[in-house]
A and B are shown apart, each in its own frame.
Chain A
Amino acid sequence: MTRFLLKRIGLALITLILLSMIVFAVSSILPGNVGRSVLGPFASQESVDQLNEQLGADRPLLSQYWDWASDAVRGDLGESLTKQVPAWDLLRPALFNSFKLALVAFLICVPLSLLGGVIAGLRYGKATDKSITTAGLSFSAMPDFVTGIVFILIFAVWLSWLPVTAQAEDGANALTQVKYLLLPAFTLTLVLFGYIARVTRAGMIEALDSDYARTAYLKGLPSSVVVRKHVLRNALVPTIAVVAVQVGYLVGGLVAVEFLFNYQGMGLLTLEAARNKDLPLLTAGVLVIGTVYLVVMLLADILYAALNPRIRFGGGE
């Protein structure tokens, strides 16, 4: 297991280094100019050039990358060119926000999806199964900003039960913060429900159809025991990988949801950095999202191994 973990961590570090290089390289071909982003389209070219020189944005890309990477290995993620403050000062609250939203969404979405998938699997081919599958598919097919607007109109504008924006006041207690996050969390739940429930359902059907489940039934075990002790353990293994992948999306990919609920998370921050060609902020943002993603994948692998003896005892592979 230790060898397995070390290997994964090593691969993760290489991935992150490559990721930072790719971001720098790709950004160089993007249109845009930092000085002009700050000063606006109508600023004189002289002012823009002066500001770019002052910010170091006019240096060769390799030199910019080298300086950024040298600082990054020492834990300094550089300074945002457009905001002119340390990148970490912008990333920290955004990351915290993203984690909060991801957690609330996760706590609602995962149990619901698992439950939906398990029920659909148990009721395979029946009306309940068809209803869950069709509803899940419909929700997933709907873009998140459409679902979000519908929720806002119903729960915030018409019923006035929940706030439109997801950002609670500073110092708000945990319950209030959750209240503010409910609408985006529900939106994300609808988006993810169909996918997670379908994978769970497929795992359930496969596990229920397996020899070990049939043997357990033939042994005379009650249905609830068969499902709890034998079927679920195996059926949920593929679901873990699927859920882990969604964490990366929830932390770094919620641009539309963050925009709609005016929530300052990692998705909007990195998008803004890309638009403004703010390379240090963009690279640091992608790196942070990448790190979160890799850590979650690692945790998923560990969980996967814990649930699946073939992996656990297979020499760490």
Chain B
Amino acid sequence: MDRDTARRIDEYRRHEAGQLENNLFDELVAGEMDRTEFLKRGAMFGLSVGIMGSMLAFVGEAGAAPAARTQLGRVQKGGILRAGITKPAGPVEPYLLNDGGALCFAGQAAEYLTFTNPQGKILPWLATSWKPNADATVWTFQLRKGVKFHNGKTMTSKDVVASMKQYVSAKGSNAGLTPFFDAAGVSAKGPYAVVFKLKSAIGVFPYLVSQTTYQAPVQTAEDAAKPGQWAAGGFVGTGPFKVKKYTEGRSADLVRHSAYWGGPSPLDGVKMTFFTGSAPLVLALRAGQVDLAMQLSPQEATPFKNNPKFTYYALPTSAHRQLCMRTDVGVLKDPRVRRAVALSINRPQQLAKIMLGAGQVGNDSPFWKGFASTDPSIKQRTQNIQLAKALLEAAGVKNLKFNLTTWNFLDHPDHAASIQAYAREAGIDVGLEVMDGGKYYDSEPAGADYAKTTPWLNRTCSLTEYGARGVPNVYLTRAYMSTGDWNGSHYNNPEFDSLSKTYLAAAEVSAQRKATKRMNGLLLRDTPVVTDYFISYTTAGSSKVKNYVPEGLSHMRLAKVSLG
């Protein structure tokens, strides 16, 4: 390393870097994280490309410094991309965004402060940098200058503050950000900086204002002041495409936003057709009536794999299913019994059978291997029928019988039937109760106390879907911690809760890994939830679609896409 680099790093560490950045650098030097993770974490703490490059050079990894911009394939300008997406289920209003279709459509027009890329790295987007205080309870985001809304207005901190305030205070809001800060906790610091004062320390807060929290896009201050008026106002955002025409339930026509901060799209526009089901979407793609499908199941996408006219996309994500087993009452109360259920499953075989291999095997925790915070040394649980039987015997359980409740959605019925078949090998009799979504997610009977009666949170055993996230925070706080409102297993382990809090407050990856390793150990021992696979995001498109990179969520990032 040359003297200049060393001096630069030294000056940065002494005068600019905070405690978290210095810890990060120490971890890199100590070899506690590899270069990929360093880049991920560095980006999260708002380290510049130059500083990260210097730090990597310091440890002899100069070649890993991030390039200024990914080299794109040959770009042909013009044309209208015809995208097939799921029909938005409800009103397309930022504070209500919930379903894939609405998210995909809105994501063309509106953008977020940060962006979680498919590799789980946090990237600057409408915010160019961010910096936490020493205990990660206050985060300051510097906004990108010169960002224009579709109506020509320049984005400032006023717009960001008004948008964030709407998301945590609008009546009936989906409230994705409410657990982290309240309306008083977000303020402007000059025209291009926004300060978030969090309710508690969050080491990965920049992830939570990326597109992985659906209800967090930046609107104009004027629109944000009137919740429910975004659609009526013409879907004004900063995104690469502006909405020219929106026909409820049918389609949307979008045109290039020429003043887009990331440079105008090569495409003239995008025609989005809304599909009620995926079967017609597959047929339309096959017949050449659409160029790109938002998302298809592995069963639907795989036939496009070896067809030269199409491109098959598969991206590993943290999306998964949770087989929740009640830990407080019923036949599954004994952890040995729950472990027996988990041990009966042949995970690789199940993944191959149900998802056609489009995914990764799970280890009964939400700690996906792609998360930087996941400790890679944890031993993978595998099928062991003999041990499962022994555990049942030790628990004094004979002829174990219970119902698995789920709903008729995607792979759920097949997944449940597969678990039923594996459990039978261990002598466990699993009955299936497959419901309609309205019933599975409603109180029972209608109008009763939701938390105490809804099937997905109260049945002896339930199978529920969880979407992809950039970090496991939401899974932990809402599905695993005893205070979580999605805790279908009713898991209540003070040690786990305490470790979760440690993880949430930790900004250094080593501290996070230490916590997740212990949490994973507790989860393997207690097995409140079986997570047998993580699901890859799969879809397909015409081979003439160039430079498309799926994201793992329902967003379709089309700014750099062209038609060849």
Residues of A within 8 A of B (CB): 30-33, 35-48, 50-51, 54, 82-85, 89-90, 93-94, 149, 152-153, 156-157, 160, 163-165, 167, 170, 258-262, 264, 268-269, 272, 275-277
Contact = CB atoms under 8 A, between A and B. Distances in A.
Interface string B7-46: 0000000000000000000000000000000000000000
B436 A262 contact: no
A275 B171 CA distance: 24
Given A31-B439, A262-B280, A275-B438, A164 B171 contact: no
Interface string B265-297: 000000001011101110110111100000000
Contacts of B89: 37-38, 82, 276
A90 B248 contact: yes
Nearest to B444: A31
A165 B96 contact: no
Contacts of B173: 47
Nearest to B464: A41
B456 interface: yes
Nearest to A51: B172
Contacts of A50: 171-172
Given A31-B438, A84-B91, A43 B280 contact: no
A43 B275 contact: no
B289 A165 contact: yes
B485 A44 contact: yes
Contacts of A32: 438-439, 442, 446
B174 interface: yes
Nearest to A45: B450
B249 interface: yes
Contact of A41 (B171, B249, B289, B437): B437
Given A38-B90, A39-B174, A40-B99, A84 B228 contact: yes
Interface of B: 89-91, 96, 98-99, 171-175, 178, 228, 245, 247-251, 273, 275-277, 279-281, 283-284, 286-289, 436-443, 446, 450-451, 456, 478, 485-486
Contacts of A269: 249
A89 B441 contact: no
Given A31-B439, A31-B446, A40 B283 contact: no
Contacts of A165: 273, 280, 284, 289
28 contacts: A31-B436, A31-B439, A32-B446, A33-B446, A36-B442, A40-B99, A44-B178, A45-B451, A47-B172, A47-B173, A48-B450, A51-B172, A83-B90, A83-B91, A84-B228, A152-B287, A157-B283, A163-B287, A164-B286, A164-B289, A165-B280, A165-B289, A170-B245, A259-B277, A260-B280, A262-B275, A268-B276, A276-B438
Contact of A262 (B228, B248, B276): B276
Contact of A43 (B171, B175, B248): B175
3 closest cross-chain pairs (CB), A and B? A32-B438, A51-B172, A40-B98
Contacts of A35: 172
A48 to B, nearest CB: 8
B172 A39 contact: yes
B520 to A, nearest CB: 23
Nearest to A82: B90
A264 B249 contact: yes
A264 B440 CA distance: 27
A43 B249 contact: no
Contacts of A89: 248
B287 A164 contact: yes
A160 B288 contact: yes
Given A45-B451, A82-B89, A261-B280, A54 B172 contact: yes
Q: Which of A32, A167, A262 counts the most chain B CB atoms within 10 A?
A: A262
Given A149-B283, A264-B249, 16 more contacts: A30-B438, A36-B442, A37-B89, A40-B99, A40-B174, A41-B456, A47-B173, A82-B90, A83-B90, A85-B248, A89-B248, A94-B249, A152-B287, A163-B289, A165-B273, A262-B281
A262 to B, nearest CB: 4
B108 to A, nearest CB: 19
A302 B174 CA distance: 54
Contacts of A83: 90-91, 248
A3 B446 CA distance: 47
A299 B439 CA distance: 41
A41 B440 CA distance: 9
A156 B248 CA distance: 26
A46 B171 CA distance: 10
B171 A160 contact: no
Contacts of B478: 42
Contacts of B273: 165, 167, 262
A42 B486 CA distance: 7
Contacts of A31: 436, 438-439, 442, 446
Nearest to A28: B446
B439 A157 contact: no
A157 B286 contact: yes
A157 B288 CA distance: 8
Contacts of A46: 175
B438 A264 contact: no
Given A160-B288, A275-B438, A259 B280 contact: yes
Contacts of B175: 43-44, 46-47
A129 B286 CA distance: 39
Nearest to B409: A41
A45 B485 contact: yes
Contacts of B251: 167
A71 to B, nearest CB: 21
B277 A36 contact: no
A45 B390 CA distance: 41
A54 B95 CA distance: 15
B54 to A, nearest CB: 42
A252 B292 CA distance: 31
Contacts of A277: 438
A256 to B, nearest CB: 10
Nearest to A85: B248
A170 B247 CA distance: 10
A90 B279 CA distance: 24
